[in-house]
Structure formats: C-alpha cells, structure tokens
C-alpha cells in the first residue's frame, strides 16, 4: 500500500490567492483527518470525515477554510483567500474505524503564504 | 473537551541512557493512547500505543505505561541511540475517533 498521499508537497503563494491541498487516504480507511502543524500551536485537528461525511469541523479556523470529501479516495482542503498566518504544514491522516483509531499520516504539504 | 499536557518540552540524554516523557489527560472516558515520533521535516509516525485495559506495553527498547486512576501515561526509551533524536507526541482518544495531541517533546540523544 502506498500510504496516505498528499499533494502538493510544497506550496508558495501570495496573500489573497486560493490554495487547494489534496489528500488520498489509505484504501479501505473510513476516517480522514486534516491537521495543521505550527511551532506555536503544535498539531491541531481542523476537520475529520467518516465515510465521506464531515463529522467535526470545529477546528476550522474561519470561513476562509473549507474541506470536502467527494468520494472515499479523495479529499481537499481549500483556503480562500490565503493569509500569511496560514503558513504551516498541513497533514492529512486516515484510519480504519475497526482499528480503534490508529491514524496514519501523509507526508504533509508545507504552505508558505507571502 | 479533552486536554493533553506533555512534559518536558525538551529533553537531552547521553547515548545509552534512558529517556522518559510524561503526559496527562483530562477526560476520564479516554481509552486509547498512541505515541508518535516525528523526525525533522517528516510526518508523525506511530511507534507504540496502549489501550485502557492494559497497564504497560513494551516493544524492544520502547515501553508505555498507563495509570488510569491518575490519568497519566508515559513513554520510556531505554538504551537511547542518536537515531532516537526526534520530536515525540503523545495523544489520547475519548469517545469519538479524533485524537487530542500533546505539544511534543524534542528529544536529543548526544553521542
């Protein structure tokens, strides 16, 4: 299995631009999580899905952030418009419910907003 | 919601010595406690986990202990090696499938 796949691996954009991050979970996993990691705030859960349905989005910082999961093998996290304070590493993780929640992380997308 | 406190934030040990990282959690319903290792520029990777019906679990040089009464759990690394240098995160899970992570411990193993 290829593990969780994320793209792009690095993204540099200018303030005000739209940013779309992509994730492909491990096949057969029914939970998908989006995290943001910064030095100041550590690893924060933004949103998670179960069977493609958003379950908890209380971690999404504001309306500029949105996430979708149109099918079991693909999810996107969109920031529009982006701001410098959105600069961080964004991780996607997936898990299989019957494994009691063990999460496997993707390689992350390093986002820099200038 | 759940709150996880992790100590220390940084830890330096001599190669061959032991390292201990401690975490406390607030939600008594928490029942799953994984530990992740994150090397510089890499993803967090699960190294060991423990469930609430077990007090201790070992895997070669690493072990985790859980005290449900006190609501704390610890990671023990024995015979540390330079490749153990990384940031270690504890986490806990209560009723839902989401994990709450500690702030991390940067472990440095000095050769």
For residue range A27-76, list pLDDT tens digits in order.
Answer: 999 999 999 999 888 899 999 999 999 999 999 988 999 999 999 999 99
Per residue in B50-90, pLDDT (tens digit) is: 988 878 999 999 999 999 999 999 999 999 999 999 999 99
Whether residue A114 is predicted with pLDDT greater than 90 in this model: the reply is: yes
Cis peptide before A8 (omega within 30 of 0): yes
Residue A83 vs residues A13, A52, A55: alpha-carbon distances, Å: 9, 28, 26
What pLDDT shows up at residue A83? 96
Q: Residue A38: beta bridge partners?
A: A42
Q: Which of B26, B33, B23 is nearest to B72 (CA)?
A: B23
Give how far B16 is from chain A: nearest CA, Å: 29
Rg (CA), chain B: 13
Rg (CA), chain A: 13
What average pLDDT does range A69-97 have in this prediction?
96
- Which two structure tokens, joined as six digits, stand for A93? 């993780």
The more confident residue out of A109 and B53 is: A109
What pLDDT shows up at residue A46? 95
B103 touches chain A (CB under 8 A): yes
Contact A68, A75 (CB under 8 A): yes
Average pLDDT, chain B: 94
Q: Report the alpha-carbon distance of residue B80 to residue B70 in Å, rounded.
A: 27
B54 touches chain A (CB under 8 A): no
What pLDDT shows up at residue A98? 64
Q: Which of A9, A19, A30 is nearest to A93 (CA)?
A: A30
pLDDT > 90: percent of chain B:
83
Contact A91 B44 (CB under 8 A): yes
What average pLDDT does range B8-32 have in this prediction?
96
- Which two structure tokens, joined as six digits, stand for A52? 């493609």
Whether residue B34 is predicted with pLDDT greater than 90 in this model: the reply is: yes
Q: Provide the pLDDT confidence category of residue A1 given band limits of 50, 70 and 90.
A: low
What pLDDT shows up at residue B98? 81
Contact B62, B75 (CB under 8 A): yes
Length of chain B: 111
C-alpha triplet A88, A91, A94: angle, nearest 5°:
165
Mutate to test the interface with A, among B9, B29, B36, B44 (most CBs of A within 10 A): B44
What are residue A99's phi and psi, to 5 degrees? -90, 15
Q: Which of A84, A51, A85, A86 is nearest to A66 (CA)?
A: A86
Whether residue A99 is predicted with pLDDT greater than 70 in this model: the reply is: no
């Amino acid at each position: 299995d290829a593990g969780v796949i994320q793209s792009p691996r690095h993204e540099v954009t200018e303030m005000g631009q739209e940013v779309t991050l992509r994730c492909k979970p491990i096949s057969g996993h029914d939970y998908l999580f989006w995290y943001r990691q910064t030095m100041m705030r550590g690893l924060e859960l933004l949103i998670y899905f179960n069977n493609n349905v958003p379950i908890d989005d209380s971690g999404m910082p504001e309306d500029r952030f949105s996430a979708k999961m149109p099918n079991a093998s693909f999810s996107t996290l969109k920031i529009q418009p982006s701001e410098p304070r959105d600069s961080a590493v964004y991780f996607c993780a997936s898990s299989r419910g019957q494994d009691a929640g063990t999460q496997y992380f993707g390689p992350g997308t390093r986002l820099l907003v200038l | 919601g759940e709150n996880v406190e992790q100590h220390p934030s940084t830890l330096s040990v001599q190669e061959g010595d032991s390292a201990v990282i401690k975490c406390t959690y607030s939600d008594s319903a928490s029942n799953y406690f994984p530990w992740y290792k994150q090397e510089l520029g890499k993803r967090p990777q699960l190294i060991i986990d423990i469930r609430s019906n077990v007090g201790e679990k070992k895997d070669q040089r690493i072990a985790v202990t859980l005290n449900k009464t006190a609501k704390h759990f610890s990671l023990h690394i024995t015979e540390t090696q330079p490749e153990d240098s990384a940031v270690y995160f504890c986490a806990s899970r209560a009723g839902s499938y989401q994990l709450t992570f500690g702030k991390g411990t940067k472990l440095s193993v000095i050769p």
